[in-house]
């Protein structure tokens, strides 16, 4: 499922995502019972007394709850459920079984879930567009859960080294700091020569490119990525054949930071805030990443620092904002500002008088000037991103 999906869009059936999720939640206990009953009937092995039945019910409860969470917020965290699915797949491998029964259980759960959604749609007269979005989301979601179980099954069977390498990658790019002794021990077990510095590479689409022992990769994940020794060249990452973003170099124990910046850059390139090129190098766009990584905070800074501009009409406010940014960047030189904005110097002087009346002594405060310039730069980047 694409993390950027939005289901449903505002305005469909007069509902927002939160309202649609609210319609679904009261019926979830009955849905869980229905799915569990059908799975036990269709795949009797999961109806055996003991842990099998408990695990089945727990997995179904997690899956339906997360699905509704994703209807409300497509960025809701999936980690807990994905780990459950991986364990289900690994459990089948440890039992010496194929994934046939588990895949059958997923198909049954998806079928029951879709029938439930159709009844919900009829009851609340949801539009065909909303139903189509929900169908797309449900079947993509089911595929993703199945992929997680396939991964868990494969990791249990490969026993190990490939599984160890994926787990090592998740560890060093996850939250928290990995102690040097633990990193050294796990890297030795996984056959990964620890480099002095690494870069994380975020990948737009899955890839089947094979890599040497010095690269840790998870390129069939929902958000594919790699960890390579630094420095890395464009030829190396261009082998992936899709848009990628290369994070800044870090020590191996801090690889999570490189991955965070790489994923942010990949998202901004897709949204148009960064150039549309095959390889985006974070090191070339650090200021843009810094200004746009936290949009809420950027908005707060703009509201605080540019409040005097709100007294003007929209068109005047835009022109004064452009003039203020150029004035700050050019040290108040009217001739340079006029060239920068392609206007007459007299126009610049008139606008500057307006700015001085609006901002007063704050224009002479170095801290305020820095904050205003930062807010204006961020605002300009956000405008470019929305075009």
The per-residue pLDDT for range 196-214, each reduced to its tens digit, is: 999 999 998 877 777 888 9
| Of 177, 187, 185, 188, nearest in space to 255 by CA | 177
Give the pair of three-digit tokens for residue 6. Answer: 């939005």
Give the number of other Cβ atoms within 10 Å of residue 341's Cβ.
Answer: 17
Does pLDDT of 381 surpass 80?
A: no
Q: What is the pLDDT of residue 59?
A: 87
Q: Which domains does the chain have, with CATH numbers?
A: 12-158 (1.10.490), 167-292 (no CATH), 304-386 (1.10.10)
Higher pLDDT, 12 or 303: 303
* Kind of pairing between the strands at 225-229 and 279-281: unpaired
* pLDDT attached to residue 367: 83
**293 has pLDDT over 90:** no
Share of the chain above pLDDT 70, in %: 90
The tens digit of pLDDT for each residue in 236-278 reads: 888 888 899 999 999 888 899 999 999 989 988 888 878 889 9
Q: What is the pTM of this model?
A: 0.49
Q: What pLDDT score does 368 carry?
A: 85
What is the Cα–Cα distance from 305 to 376, expressed in whole angstroms? 9
Write down how long the chain is: 387
Q: Read out DSSP for 323-355?
A: HHHHHHHTTT-HHHHHHHHTS-HHHHHHHHHHH
End-to-end CA distance of the chain: 25
- What pLDDT, on a 0 to 100 scale, did the predictor assign at position 158? 65
Q: Is residue 10 scored above 50 in pLDDT?
A: no
Give the residue-averaged pLDDT of 13-18. Answer: 70
Q: How confident is the model at residue 15 (pLDDT cuts 50, 70, 90)?
A: low
Instruction: Output the six-digit token pair for 82.
Output: 């994905």
Predicted confidence at residue 174, as pLDDT, reads 83
Whole-number average pLDDT of the chain = 84
- CB contact at 8 A, 264 and 283: no
pLDDT at 369: 87
Whether 158 contacts 227, CB under 8 Å? no
Q: What's residue 373's pLDDT? A: 84
Binning pLDDT at 50, 70 and 90, where does residue 1 land? very low
- Mean pLDDT for 42-67 is 83
Give 303 or 14, the one with higher predicted confidence. Answer: 303
What average pLDDT score do residues 127-152 get?
91
């Amino acid at each position: 499922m694409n993390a950027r999906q939005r289901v449903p869009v505002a305005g469909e059936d007069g509902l927002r995502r939160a309202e649609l999720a609210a319609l679904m939640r009261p019926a979830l206990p009955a849905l869980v019972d229905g799915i569990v009953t059908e799975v036990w009937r269709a795949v009797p092995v999961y109806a055996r007394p003991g842990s099998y039945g408990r695990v089945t019910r727990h997995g179904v409860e997690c899956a339906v709850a997360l699905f509704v969470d994703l209807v409300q917020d497509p960025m809701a965290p999936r980690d807990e459920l994905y780990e459950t699915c991986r364990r289900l797949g690994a459990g089948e491998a440890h039992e010496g079984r194929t994934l046939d029964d588990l895949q059958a259980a997923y198909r049954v759960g998806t079928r029951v879930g879709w029938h439930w959604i159709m009844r919900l749609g009829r009851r609340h007269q949801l539009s065909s567009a909303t139903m189509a979005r929900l169908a797309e989301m449900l079947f993509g979601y089911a595929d993703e859960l199945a992929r997680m179980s396939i991964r868990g099954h494969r990791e249990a069977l490969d026993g190990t080294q490939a599984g160890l390498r994926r787990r090592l990658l998740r560890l060093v790019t996850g939250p928290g700091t990995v102690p040097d002794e633990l990193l050294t021990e796990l890297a030795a077990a996984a056959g990964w020569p620890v480099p002095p510095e690494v870069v994380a590479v975020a990948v737009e689409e899955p890839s089947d490119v094979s890599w040497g022992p010095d690269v840790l990769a998870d390129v069939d994940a929902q958000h594919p990525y790699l960890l390579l020794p630094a420095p890395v060249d464009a030829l190396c990452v261009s082998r992936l054949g899709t848009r990628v973003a290369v994070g800044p170099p870090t020590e191996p124990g801090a690889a999570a930071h490189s991955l965070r910046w790489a994923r942010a850059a990949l998202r901004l390139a897709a949204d148009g805030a960064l150039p549309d090129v095959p390889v985006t190098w974070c090191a070339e766009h650090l200021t843009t990443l810094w200004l746009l990584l936290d949009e809420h905070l950027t908005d707060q800074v703009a509201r605080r620092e540019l409040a005097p501009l709100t007294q003007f009409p929209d068109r005047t406010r835009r022109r004064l904002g452009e003039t203020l940014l150029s004035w700050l960047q050019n040290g108040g030189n009217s001739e340079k500002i006029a060239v920068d904005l392609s206007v007459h110097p007299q126009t610049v002087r008139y606008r500057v008088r307006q700015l001085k009346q609006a901002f007063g002594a704050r224009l002479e405060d170095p801290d305020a000037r820095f904050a205003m310039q930062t807010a204006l730069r961020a605002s300009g980047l956000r405008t470019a991103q929305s075009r």
